[in-house]
Amino acid sequence: MIKLISKRVFGAAAAVTMAATALVGAGAGSAGAAERAHCDSAERDMWSEAPGIDVFARGCSIPDQDHRWYRIEIDTLVQKYYKTEYVTGRADRTKTVHDRTVRCLGHLSEKNTVHWFGCVPH
């Protein structure tokens, strides 16, 4: 009987812990919301396994404040596909897509070009 009660108490405690973790996780996700940016055109390398983590863009409007994540809306994105994991010359093929959104960790800008880095596969 005591064994059955301890199992029920342990199960209830685990359920409460998981629910609290889910609520904290949901709150943390909204607290780190991404700031929006817009770019007219961009290029991204596409490797055999997944997209590259860097995006090079032009004609960008960048938010004034620093943020942890940026959601970049791109009018024209040129994806360069490579068969290997190394840039050894020209791309095997390219694909142009329109009205894409990419999420990146940060950026560096120089004149008219913005280097978005830490971009997650989409």
**Could you read off the pLDDT of 2-28 as tens digits, one per residue?**
554 444 544 444 443 444 333 333 333
- Using the structure block, give the residue that is written with the tokens 């998981």: 18
The Cα–Cα gap between 47 and 20 comes to 39
Which of 58-62, 82-86, 87-91 is the most confident on average?
Answer: 58-62
Instruction: Note whether residue 60 is domain-resident.
Output: yes
Looking at the structure, do residues 47 and 102 belong to the same domain, yes or no? yes
Query: What are the pLDDT digits (tens) for 21-75?
Result: 333 333 334 445 678 999 999 999 988 778 889 999 999 998 887 777 999 999 9
As to burial, measured by CB atoms within 10 angstroms (0-12 exposed, 13-18 middle, 19+ buried), residue 96 is exposed
**pLDDT at residue number 62:** 85
Question: Does residue 109 form part of some domain?
Answer: yes
Q: Would 9 be classed as within a structural domain?
A: yes
Residue-range definition of the domain harbouring residue 97: 35-117
Residue 122 forms part of a structural domain = no
Terminal alpha carbon distance of the chain: 52
